[in-house]
Structures are given as structure tokens and as C-alpha cells.
Amino acid sequence: MSGGLLVAGTTSDAGKSVLTAGICRWLHRRGVKVAPFKAQNMSNNSVVVVGADGRGGEIGRAQAMQAAACGIAADIRFNPVLLKPGSDYSSQVVLLGQAVDTVTAGNYRSLRPRLAEAAHATLAELRAEYDAVICEGAGSPAEINLRDGDFVNMGLARHAGLPAIVVGDIDRGGVFAALFGTVALLSAEDQALVSGFVINKFRGDAGLLQPGLDMITAATGRPVHGVLPFNLDVWLDAEDSLAYGRVLGRPAAPRGTEWLRVAVVRLPRISNATDAEALATEPGVQVRLTIEPAEIADADLVVLPGSKATVSDLAWLRETGLADTIRAHAAAGKPLVGICGGFQMLAGTIHDDVESRLGTVAGLGLLPVDITFGERKTLARSRGAAWGQVPVSGYEIHHGYVSAGDPEPLMRYSDGAPEGAVVGAVCGTHWHGAFESDEFRRRFLTEAARQAGRTGFVVAPDTQFAQVRERALDVLGDLVEEHLDTDALWRLIETGPPNDFPFIPPGAPAAAGGATPHPRTGAGEDPGTG
């Protein structure tokens, strides 16, 4: 069995995804055959992976990014369970790439054994094929109400005998309390696997931080394996769209005399918000995630992104008045693009007896198509051309399809079939990831600038998105190599956790799994044994 490591976090967005990717890139550069793994992800940022059988399947986009850090193609097994929230109360369950059910918090428990079995089996397969598997946890391992039946955090570590490191975001404050509390709320068996800490997003004088590092080590008996500095270049492929802040990336100065301002509507159930990241890599393009009508009205280009709840998010646009702002933007002849769910919202009519089950509702009426939702989800990698000969590729994840209308297509598949729609400055497509095609992105931005009247905007001729992503992954690898104790990390990966870590009381409540700590010795014992 190969080596492995679990990267857990004190909270969501503590840095688990980027630290996992950084460790993967560091190992890959050392010549280690390494793979990423996340047993269960809850995210609407997904990507389509084509399996050996030719079928398309979904995994979390973060795991595809981590696979790229490993220098390997993404594999459905890297994220065997994906939960895609459609509301505050229900999620679609994607198992080994395919949607199998919709669950609520109440009935998830009955499905969990099946999901855990699949996660454990796929991890075992990967560990048989790779020298090392770097696993990413979910949320925090100290969610004591969720510990029973857990198979993504300490439940996975216990099952597979993995050492765990806990990463905390110091930029949010309270990191030492979060690190200590995470350990102290775990059972003795879980604590035995927690083998150290990593501090993320530090800015300031490292000398002032050192006493805290010494104290947390003394308080827990576990080392701090390093402190990662705050780095503005780490922003691509964020797991959670809310992690972006408001402006994506670090906009470079324009090549011409004018900026192109892009407003991406932050829908409540936004999915694949990463589609706009390729735009944000371009000099002179400022991309802002927003729900402010004034910012949308002031934008040159408006992007309606994907949604896991198209009809619900469309209703939200109307309730907030943003629908009127979007219509006014289009009426002014300024460019507007809808992607997947956003494209569906631009239709004349939406027939949905599948996702929202609300039947027929009116769309925004900005594109002459009707959308119908089907039971079968389209999962595909797609290629084609736009404007006659500009190559473009992407991937599709949608239940809705164009059921009526014959508009001018935005692009065509390789076989000539039409895709999307364009009327004047308004367009839409079901393809995610299209803006990662360099020629397509440049032509699109040039057209958008013309339609917006930004005659001083000049698109850069040399931005290559794949190279930008590779540089970002190298930054993560550099951060790990330069700021973490990589010798200690390798020992953990290769030999597992040391066996001499102290127990930190009070430990987990009995209902949260594991043994109850003895009131005097702190040693674990089964409840009720006396």
C-alpha cells in the first residue's frame, strides 16, 4: 500500500484545496507518482472527466486542478462522491461521476453507507496504483454533529490509517484557538492521527508569530510544519465562489488606453463560477462578482453564470430587481453572455418538471429559444468552432436543452451541429470552460469591447490560459517547498503518524464517535465499561 496524507482544515476555505495542490505539485516535481483524492465534495464547481469507457462524469473542479498539479489527467476516482446543492435543504448526489439521487439532510443518512463504501474502495485502488495519495478533507474534522458515519475527514483517516495535518487561515483571526479546538474535540483515536499543523495566509513579521507557534506545539504536543505567506497569485479554481472576494485575480494594466469592466452576477446557487476566471487573466479586463445593480449597470460586459437552480435563481433576479438591470443593459446594446443556467435564463420560456418542478415559467426573453429540462443529464467534453473557424472547446453539465427556436448559433460542434444562440450583443451557450480557449476568448473580448464602445481596449495577443494555470500551480509548489518542513511531511506520507502524541481533553462527546476519554487519565475507553 502506498503512502498517504489527509489535509484537514479548521474551517471551509482554510486552504485545504490549495495546500493539497501544492503538496501534489511538490511531490510531482520530486518524481513521485502522486494522485489527489477527496472522498466527498460539496460544491457546484464541477468539471466533466471522460472515463476509460468513454462516458463523461463529474468531479469537483478542485480535484481536476489538483490532478493537473500531479501532472496527470483527471480521474473520476479522485472525487467519488460529489454533492451539488440545489437548495438549502437538498443536494444532488453524484457517485463516481453520475447523478444517482437527490437527498436532504434527513434521508442522506440512509445513502451514506453506500457512498462510504465507494469512497473507501476507490481510495484503495488509487493507493495500489500511486506512490502517494494526498487526500483533502471537507469543512472541519471537528464537526462533532457529523462525526458519526464520517468518511471524508477523520473517518477516512481512521479507515485508511492516514496521518492528518490541520491547516488554519490566520487571516481570519483566531487561528490558534481553532487549531487547538479542532484537536481537543476529537476522540483519542482520531487525535492519534493528527500529526501537525500548517498556518495559511500569514502576512507580517514572522518573529512576532513564532511565540504562538511554540505555544500551540507545547499545548498540543504537535509541531507546526510551516507557515504559508499570503499570496495574491493564488486564486484560480477556488473551491467556493464566495472565496473570491469581489474582484477576481490581479488585473494587469491594459494593453490599450481603456479597461473592459466585466460584472459576473453572483447567483444564490451559482455553479462553475470559475468560467469567468479565464477572462480575469487578461490584461485590462477587470472581472467583478457582484449582486449590486449599480455595478451591473456600470459594466461593459455582464455575465450570467451557471446555476444549480435555474428557475429559483431566475426568480431571485426578479425579486431583487437585477432582472430589470440586466434587461436595461441589453436594451442599451451592451454585451451580455449567459453560460449554462445563465443561458437558460435568457430564453423566452423555460419548461422545468425536473429540477424545480414548477412547470412552465417565463425567461428573461432576451434570446429566441425555449428551454426544456430532461431527466437525463448531459455530461460531455465538447469541441467545435465559433465565427466560422475560431477553435473552441468546453464541457457540458446540464439537464436543460433548447427545445424550440432556430437562432444564429454562438458556435458549432465539430460535426456542424449548432450550439448556443446570439442576437446582437446578447449570447448564450451551455458550454462551460469555453473562455479557456485562447483564440475564442480574444475574439469574444474584442467583440464585447466593440459592442460596449470601448474602442481603446486592446486584447492581449499572448495570454495563454493553460500557461497561467501552470504558473499558478508552480507557485503552490514553490510555497510548499520554501515554507513547509517537507522532510517532516515526507516522513508522514511514507511512514504514517508517530505513536506518541498526547491526548488533549475533553475529546469528542460519546455521540460524536470514538471512545470516551477517561475523566482522570484522558485515555480512551468504551462507554459503559466501568
* Residue 493 neighbours by CB under 8 Å, 6+ apart: 3, 4, 5, 27, 132, 134, 163
**Nearest-angstrom CA–CA distance, 115 and 449:** 48
CA quadruple 200, 475, 485, 123: dihedral sign: positive
Tally Cβ neighbours within 10 Å of residue 250: 10
Q: What is the DSSP string of 368-420?
A: S-EEEEEEEEEEEEEEEEETTTEEEEEEEEEEEEEEE--PBPSEEETTS-EES
Query: One of 340, 398, 399, 430 is an active-site residue; which one?
Result: 340
Judged by phi (left if over 0) then psi (alpha if -120 to 50, else beta), residue 506 lies in alpha
Please identify which of the residues 225, 399, 430, 432 carries the catalytic annotation.
Answer: 432
Nearest to 436 by CA among 233, 269, 282: 282
The string of DSSP codes covering 117-130 is: HHHHHHHHHHHHHS
Q: How many CB atoms lie within 10 A of CB 290?
A: 20
Active site residue 340: yes
The separation between the first and the last C-alpha atoms of the chain, rounded to the nearest angstrom, is 38
Query: By C-alpha distance, which of 104, 40, 58, 11 is closest to 306?
Result: 58
Instruction: Give the C-alpha separation, 445 to 448, whole Å.
Output: 5
Cα–Cα nearest to 342, from 359, 358, 366, 321? 366
Given strand 34-37, what is the order of strands in its sheet? 34-37, 132-136, 3-9, 164-169, 194-202, 224-229
Using alpha carbons only, what angle is made at residue 7 by residues 5 and 8, rounded to the nearest 5 degrees?
135
For residue 390, give the nearest of 411, 369, 367 by alpha carbon.
Answer: 411
Burial class (CB in 10 A: 0-12, 13-18, 19+), 33: middle
Q: Could you tell me the three cell numbers for 192?
A: 492519534
Q: Kindly state the helix (H) or strand (E) to which residue 104 belongs, with its residue range.
A: strand 98-104
Report the candidate in 303, 318, 310, 314 with the shortest Cα–Cα distance to residue 273. 303
Q: Give the number of other Cβ atoms within 10 Å of residue 329's Cβ.
A: 24
Q: Is 432 a catalytic residue?
A: yes
Radius of gyration over every alpha carbon of the chain, rounded to an integer in angstroms:
24
Q: What's at 446, amino acid-wise?
A: T
Angle, alpha carbons 497-498-502 (nearest 5°): 110
3-state secondary structure of 458: coil
Question: Which residues are catalytic, by number?
Answer: 340, 432
